[in-house]
């Protein structure tokens, strides 16, 4: 997340713990005397847990007025209280460390809280059975093409949830307006809208969806993007319900697609419920500064991050700069979570695991990876990968420097010994190189050589094909805008990303050449409404109605390319060989077994003929190849005529 993508914000609500509905259905409870189908406690998190994890410990956050005066007890076979801790900043919290042993069965039990006056409060807690074995959570990999969606801006299937007032009781949510004419207001897109168009996404050849965060952002304004979370256990009602989120996951699976959850360990929204009653003196970074200025809190009172992310690797970095990066707040409306507090650290790790189980996730995208405490991030990713060995996590490091990208990948040979446990960093460097390659005139050190030398950097990476490359995202100008509105260049760029030994990610709307020419780089504009997502839209990209010829052509190109990629083992896992740019062309080969896929980029406006002898080592001589876009066949012999600027993708695989 880039700094500018966040603007202001704000609080929250009641707990509707679903486990209580099931309290009476318990059959495994052993000794609890009086099971009550209600909770006396304001909030217990995680709201439920499961049996059968590698890690048998669980730490409950209990929030209730003066709960610090109470002593908890549990009587349930296999569950024991190891330790009870109070917050040092508020008497309204208890942290209960539980051990859930192998003898524990799924079921519900009472947690009883008693004080010296003989008062008793009771909460019903549930341990569920896990839905499937841990190793069956299969993450994304280089066979996947991921569709990134800004949920507020994709499709509004349910106008009834647009206005939060009716839904959250008398006060409603803090941001009252829904206004499609304001790029920084809510527009009404929702989970149901994504579900309704999963078939469209699937048909385009994508195999996974990554929606920006859908947890509640009950902020005063600018909450549409999702990165200012105010309750880490609640879906934003403007996007839908927990049930709808689970349905999205289920419907995606039915189509063979994966769901990736966007999570934020670095910060929360200023209106997060705990900001008004912080449990510890160091729950958030620079808390003293915040509490001193709380009544007049604004950007002037904030100590922001210095955004000097290289301090994570810089062997000369001062402690001052290191702290400035990791402890400063991202922006005034996004308090920096202090993962050095062990209770906060556990809270974040358990929250991630809770969502993986609850929503049957196939992957996590972690925001702002170089901003949290980096030792914590390694522990966080490690804890998840220990529970789910085949899972995938991609971390956002906005750096154009392959040294830094490589540092964050699991298996990197880092001189400081840092092991991130992170399978997939993001390839901002390659995103930029490809754009340069097509915007620049060809010369010795400009143009296509940027791709050639960009890929040459792969020698540095522990596992290049586990890195996620992308043509664009919600924080940068649309690729069509970056490439100055050149359709052919946009096609060539998209093909280049898709053919690399990488996981591929694209941003919704690239397939119809969405742009931000009116105000390049403006975040609200980049995240434009998808045409056809709203009733009454005159253009409908889902049906093709009202699209220009260029748009239809691009949509069809992406669809053909990605559907080929979906089944191409050579692109997923094949050997990569490329040749230095030559006469304004660039040849990239991906091969596995009998399948060789050739990408030929040609920047020449006028027809040229390329002698194929220089590519002899690939062994294609005499073979018949098929153009995956047009279906035309071509016999690989002496030379190839390239009659127009553009990309050719040829395969030895028969159609
Ligand atoms: Ca809606």
- Judge if 245 and 380 occupy the same domain: yes
CA of 229 to the centre of ligand 1 (A): 19
How many whole angstroms from 239 Cα to the centroid of ligand 1?
Answer: 6
**Residue 36 confidence (pLDDT):** 52
Domain boundary among 130, 153, 174: 130
305, part of any domain: no
Distance 46 CA to ligand 1 centre (A): 28
Set 190, 192, 396, 471: catalytic member: 396
pLDDT single digits (tens) 591-602 = 999 999 999 999
How far does residue 149's CA lie from ligand 1's centre (Å)? 15
Structure tokens given for 122: 């009771």
Identify the domain containing residue 57 by its residue range: 7-130
Ligand 1 centroid distance, CA of 195 (Å): 13
527 CA to centre of ligand 1 in angstroms: 16
* Strand 646-651 with 595-602, pairing: antiparallel
Q: Using DSSP, state whether 357 is helix, strand or coil.
A: helix
> Token pair for residue 220?
């005063």
Is 367 labeled as catalytic in the residue annotation?
yes
CB 57 within 8 A of CB 82: yes
Is residue 243 reached through a cis peptide bond, with omega within 30 degrees of 0 on the bond before it?
Answer: no
Q: What is the mean pLDDT of each run of 10 residues along the chain (655 residues)?
A: 36 31 37 58 98 98 98 98 98 98 97 97 97 97 98 97 65 87 96 98 98 97 96 97 98 98 98 97 97 93 96 97 95 97 98 98 97 97 98 97 98 97 98 98 98 98 98 98 98 98 98 98 97 98 98 98 98 98 98 98 98 98 97 97 98 85
The CA 192 to ligand 1 mean position distance, Å, reads 8
Q: 199 and 105 in one domain?
A: no
pTM: 0.93
- Specify whether 583 is located in the same domain as 492: no
113 pairs with which residues across the strands?
Answer: 72, 121
Neighbours of 2 (CB within 10 A): 15
List CB contacts of 43: < 8 A, sequence separation 6 or more: 15, 61, 62, 63, 64, 273
Does residue 166 share a domain with residue 87? no
Cα distance between residue 559 and residue 512, in whole Å: 11
Does 396 lie in the same domain as 359? yes
306, part of any domain: no
Residue 339 lies in a domain: yes
Q: For residue 235, how far is its CA from the centre of ligand 1 (angstroms)?
A: 13
Select from 271, 267, 276 the least CA-distant residue to 367: 267
Q: What is the CATH number of the domain that holds 208?
A: 3.20.20.80
Percent of the chain past pLDDT 70, that is, above it, reads 93
| pLDDT recorded at residue 24 | 35
In whole angstroms, give the CA distance from residue 596 to residue 590: 6
pLDDT of residue 3: 40
pLDDT attached to residue 171: 67
Under 8 Å between Cβ of 145 and 497: no
Token pair for 491: 């096609």
pLDDT reported for residue 172: 83
Measured between alpha carbons, how far is residue 430 from residues 76, 142, 144, 442, 455 in Å?
A: 54, 16, 18, 18, 8
Q: Would 278 be classed as within a structural domain?
A: no
State the distance from the centre of ligand 1 to the C-alpha of 190, rounded, in angstroms: 5
Indicate if 245 and 338 belong to the same structural domain: yes
> HEC string of 206-272?
CCEEEECCCECCCCCCCCCCCCCCCCCCCECCCCCCHHHHHHHHHHHHHCCCEEEEEECCCECCCCC
Report how far residue 120's alpha carbon sits from residue 112's, in angstroms, rounded to the nearest whole number: 7
The residue out of 567, 582, 612 marking a domain boundary is 567
Q: Which residue has the tokens 């992957």?
A: 363
pLDDT given at position 289: 96
The residue among 206, 205, 143 whose CA lies nearest residue 468 is: 143
The CATH number that applies at residue 599 is 2.60.40.1180
Identified catalytic residue from 262, 367, 410, 475: 367
pLDDT of 30 reads 39
For residue 433, is it within any domain?
A: yes
In the residue annotation, 199 being an active-site residue is answered as no
Tokens describing residue 54 = 């590698």
pLDDT score, position 165: 61
Taking the centre of ligand 1 as the mean of its atom positions, its distance from the CA of residue 148, in whole angstroms, is: 19
Chain centroid, CA 521 distance in Å: 21
Q: Which CATH number do you get for residue 69?
A: 2.60.40.10
- Shared domain check, 550 and 583: no
Distance CA 31, CA 37 (A): 16
Kindly state whether residues 355 and 469 are assigned to the same domain: yes
Supply the DSSP string of 555-579, one letter for each residue.
HHHHHHHHHHHHT-HHHHH-EEEE-
In this structure, the answer to whether residues 620 and 647 fall within a common structural domain is yes
Q: How far apart are CA 655 and CA 650, in angstroms?
A: 11
Report CA-CA distances (Å) from 594 to 622, 628, 634: 14, 16, 17
311 found inside a domain:
no
| 149/119 same-domain check | no
Report the pLDDT value the prediction gives residue 39, as an integer from 0 to 100.
85
pLDDT, one tens digit per residue, over 226-256 is: 999 999 999 999 999 999 999 999 999 999 9
CA–centroid distance, 188 to ligand 1, in Å, is 4
567, 587, 604 — which closes off a domain?
A: 567
Task: Answer yes or no: do 193 and 46 share one domain.
Answer: no
Check whether residue 556 and residue 579 sit in a common domain. no
Number of domains, the chain: 3
The answer to whether residue 96 is domain-embedded is yes
């Amino acid at each position: 997340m880039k700094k500018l993508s966040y603007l202001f914000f704000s609080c929250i609500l009641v707990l509707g713990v679903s486990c209580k509905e099931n309290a009476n259905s318990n059959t495994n409870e052993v000794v609890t005397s009086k099971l009550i189908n209600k909770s006396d406690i304001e909030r217990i998190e995680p709201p439920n847990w499961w049996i059968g994890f590698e890690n048998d410990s669980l730490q409950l956050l209990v929030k209730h007025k003066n709960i610090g005066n109470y002593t908890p007890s549990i009587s349930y076979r296999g569950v024991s209280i190891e330790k009870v801790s109070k917050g040092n900043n508020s008497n309204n919290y208890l942290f209960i460390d539980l051990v859930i042993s192998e003898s524990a069965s799924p079921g519900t039990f009472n947690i009883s809280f008693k004080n010296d006056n003989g008062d008793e409060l009771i909460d019903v807690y549930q341990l569920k059975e896990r839905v499937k074995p841990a190793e069956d959570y299969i993450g994304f990999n280089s066979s996947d093409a991921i569709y990134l969606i800004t949920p507020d801006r994709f499709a509004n299937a349910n106008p009834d949830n647009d206005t939060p007032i009716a839904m959250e009781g008398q006060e409603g949510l803090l941001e009252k307006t829904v206004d499609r004419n304001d790029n920084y207001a809510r527009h009404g897109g929702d989970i149901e809208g994504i579900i309704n168009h999963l078939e469209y996404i699937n048909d385009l050849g994508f195999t996974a969806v990554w929606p920006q965060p859908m947890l509640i952002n009950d902020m005063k304004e600018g909450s549409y993007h999702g990165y200012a979370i105010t309750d880490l256990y609640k879906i934003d009602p403007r996007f839908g319900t927990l049930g709808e989120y689970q349905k999205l996951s289920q419907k995606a699976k039915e189509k063979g697609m994966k769901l990736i959850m966007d999570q934020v360990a670095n910060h929360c929204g200023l209106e997060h419920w705990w900001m008004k009653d912080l449990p510890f003196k160091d729950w958030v970074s620079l808390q003293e500064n915040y509490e001193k200025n709380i009544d007049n809190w604004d950007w002037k009172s904030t100590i922001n991050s210095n955004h000097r992310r290289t301090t994570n690797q810089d062997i000369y970095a001062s402690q001052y700069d290191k702290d400035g990066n990791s402890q400063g707040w991202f922006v005034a409306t996004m308090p920096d979570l202090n993962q050095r507090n062990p209770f906060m650290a556990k809270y974040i790790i358990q929250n991630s695991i809770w969502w993986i189980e609850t929503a049957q996730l196939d992957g996590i995208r972690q925001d702002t990876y170089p901003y949290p405490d980096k030792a914590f991030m390694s522990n966080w990713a490690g804890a998840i990968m220990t529970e789910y060995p085949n899972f995938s996590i991609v971390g956002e490091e906005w750096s154009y420097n392959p040294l830094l990208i490589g540092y964050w990948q699991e298996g990197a040979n880092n001189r400081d010994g840092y092991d991130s446990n992170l399978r997939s960093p993001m390839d901002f460097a390659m995103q930029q190189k490809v754009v340069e390659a097509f915007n620049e005139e060809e010369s010795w050190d400009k143009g296509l050589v940027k791709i050639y030398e960009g890929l040459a950097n792969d020698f540095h990476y522990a596992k290049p094909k586990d890195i996620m490359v992308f043509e664009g995202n919600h924080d940068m100008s649309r690729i069509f805008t970056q490439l100055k509105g050149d359709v052919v260049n946009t096609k060539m760029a998209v093909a280049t990303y898709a053919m690399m030994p990488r996981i591929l990610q694209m941003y919704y709307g690239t397939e119809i050449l969405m742009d931000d020419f009116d105000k390049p780089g403006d975040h609200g504009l980049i995240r434009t409404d998808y045409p056809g997502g709203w009733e009454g839209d005159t253009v409908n990209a889902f049906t093709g109605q009202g699209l220009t010829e260029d748009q239809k052509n691009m949509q069809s190109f992406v669809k053909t390319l990605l559907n080929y990629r979906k089944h191409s083992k050579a692109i997923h896992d094949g050997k990569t060989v490329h040749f230095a740019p030559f006469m304004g062309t660039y040849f990239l080969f991906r091969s596995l077994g009998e399948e060789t896929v050739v990408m030929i980029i040609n920047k020449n406006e006028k027809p040229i003929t390329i002698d194929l002898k220089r590519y002899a080592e690939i062994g294609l001589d005499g073979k018949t190849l098929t153009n995956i876009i047009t279906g035309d066949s071509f016999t690989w012999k002496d030379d190839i005529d390239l009659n127009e600027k553009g990309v050719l993708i040829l395969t030895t695989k028969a159609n």
